[in-house]
Amino acid sequence: MTGNSPPPSPTVHDRSRDFPWLNAFTLVSACLAVYLPVFFRMPLSRAEAMYALIPKEMLASGSWLTPLLNGVPYLDKPQLLYWLNLLSYKVFGVSDWAARVPTLALALGEVWFTYLVGLRLVGRRAAWLGGFVLFSCIGFFSLHLQIFTDHLITLTLAASMYFLLRWMEGPAFRWSAAFFICLAAGFLSKGFIGLVFPLFISLLFAWRIRQRHLLSLVFSTKGLIVAAVLLAPWFVGVELAHPGFLKFQIVNEQIMRFLGKRQPSDIVSFSIFGFWLFLAIWLMPWTLLLPEALYRFWAETGPAGSEDPRGRLLMVWPAVILSFFTLSGSRIEYYSLPAFPPLALVLGWRLRSYLARGGPSLSYALAGLSLLGLSTIFLLPYLEQVCAANRREFCGMFDLILPVAKPVTWLVPILALAGALVGWLRSRRLAVACYGALALALVYFAFAALMAITPLVSDQLPGELVKSRAGPDDLLVMEQIEEYEYGASLAFYAGRTILMVKRHGLPQFPYPVPPQENYLISPEQLRQLWQGDRRVFLLLDDATKPEPFLQGAIVARALPGKRLLTNRP
């Protein structure tokens, strides 16, 4: 395919004759059956609670334009996720589970669009298997039990790739409009990467398969107008309400964040090794099958391959995302999430190929998983070190997870070896079934592990205790945390504004805050409050050495990794 040749027509297995909506419905229903029983049992963690607290405060203030976090405008991120959670509060009332409703819908939407993209690139069976791989890998499951803007980026990116493929099959304004609506929604989710990812992937894909006609989609005048109409009111409205917002958002939160020079420098970035290590962990148990799947898929979608060359989109897509964050100076463990759908589809394609032709790769992968299962307890302390180096709240994680990890060391090897054995005996469907059962078992253990560490990463219990005992004049203070956003879990469950102690320059606001709204206090101010007439509740992490004046303080609640102290009975 060269020059301006028309896009390839779908092959037989790509056509929409085989009840694609029914197959997509069964896939999404299977995902819902796995996720729904556990989805609303997780308390809000420190890392995610700001996405529940901000819409709560926006609802109370009546302002949909200005996000508020602990009573102070929070301008770091666009508002789309806050608006979705705010709508959920209006329908279901304010609660932690209501804040999770949009995230559940996003998870189902990501699986849905992954299937629709796969239907056009790898066929019906591979698309279904890819969707199963996606929702059964421990990273997609674990991360979707938490509220992050990255879920919106993943959904809008997958949807934009679907509409790109629809446009290739038959250029029409409705597909280009939908493509640019996805770009606008992606921008309103997390800023410029919502635009950069789909545009750059589309351009690189057009170059790779030599389809210059795709440039007329990427640079569509009508599409750009659609995106501008959706984004301009938000830009203008927030800039008028908060002069200087555009400069702050574009320079500090986008460019300087990518360069690792964002101010304040309160984010502890993962190393390149740590970022890729977590990608391998997140894709478990399918990780060991991925290298061979990528190699074979690259060969089969090449000029001499038997697969639709448009399948190269599934290689370009994750390559752009993973390269971007590898080069970035700011990496967090879940930033690889938008790369999961295409990688899952490549794995689904490999499973379909295995079912059709067999081969030893599945058995080898399962045998490797059995060894990893046996070594789980020995590997977990190293995982705690990696996590605690990023956020100290993970200190002590191993002791809490140990009771969950022990069954993994025998159940995973049993399932993995059983699958490897039936694979060697050429029972292909049964081998794939064992692999799927192993994935679902790990999903269960991932949930159990997350529940086990909630006392470390969530402030639900101390917050609820303060809410039940504190009077209107009592104060709630949080000692030394890296980022002021991490106080949102305590503030949400306590139902009140909190104070935070600032030590060694952190936490720090990235923009000026009026004195009457500033809730960061010095250690000396904490001492004065503690020795004053008002009752003070102080949440102190065990990793923080207490001040001398706190010796003998009343312990209102002791939890793993933290204590809630008070100066009055």
Mean pLDDT of 352-367: 92
* 517 Ramachandran zone, left/alpha/beta (phi>0; psi -120 to 50): alpha
9-13, 301-305, 496-500, range with the lowest pLDDT: 9-13
Tell me whether residue 374 is in a domain: yes
Tell me whether residue 14 is in a domain: no
Comparing C-alpha atoms, which of 493, 432, 422 is closest to residue 460? 493
Mean pLDDT of 276-283: 95
State pLDDT tens for residues 77-123: 889 999 999 999 999 999 999 999 999 999 999 999 999 999 999 99
Sequence-distant (6+) residues with CB within 8 A of 551 are none
Tell me whether residue 173 is in a domain: yes
How far apart CA 349 and CA 345 sit, in angstroms, is: 6
Tell me whether residue 7 is in a domain: no
Query: Are 369 and 322 part of one and the same domain?
Result: no
Query: Are 181 and 32 part of one and the same domain?
Result: yes
What angle do the packed helices 313-327 and 150-169 form, to 10 degrees?
150
The CA radius of gyration of the chain, in Å to the nearest whole number, is: 25
How far apart CA 381 and CA 384 sit, in angstroms, is: 5
Query: Are 42 and 140 part of one and the same domain?
Result: yes
Query: Are 542 and 396 part of one and the same domain?
Result: no
Mean pLDDT taken over the chain:
89
Q: 458 and 385 in contact (C-beta within 8 Å)?
A: no
How far apart CA 330 and CA 270 sit, in angstroms, is: 7
Query: Are 414 and 506 part of one and the same domain?
Result: no
Tell me whether residue 11 is in a domain: no
> What per-residue confidence (pLDDT) applies to 20?
66
Tell me whether residue 186 is in a domain: yes
pTM (predicted TM-score): 0.92
Query: Are 277 and 335 part of one and the same domain?
Result: yes
Comparing C-alpha atoms, which of 362, 319, 312 is closest to residue 338? 319
Tell me whether residue 281 is in a domain: yes
Tell me whether residue 6 is in a domain: no
Domain residue limits at 418: 361-457
What angle do the packed helices 124-136 and 96-121 form, to 10 degrees?
150
Tell me how many domains the chain contains. 3
For residue 528, give both structure tokens: 């004065």
* Whole-number percent of the chain with pLDDT over 70: 96
With a cut of 50, say whether residue 15 has pLDDT above it. Answer: no
Terminus-to-terminus CA distance in the chain, angstroms?
78
> What per-residue confidence (pLDDT) applies to 266?
64
State pLDDT tens for residues 473-513: 999 999 988 888 999 999 999 999 999 999 888 888 888 88
Sequence-distant (6+) residues with CB within 8 A of 234 are 78, 79, 188
How far apart CA 406 and CA 376 sit, in angstroms, is: 8
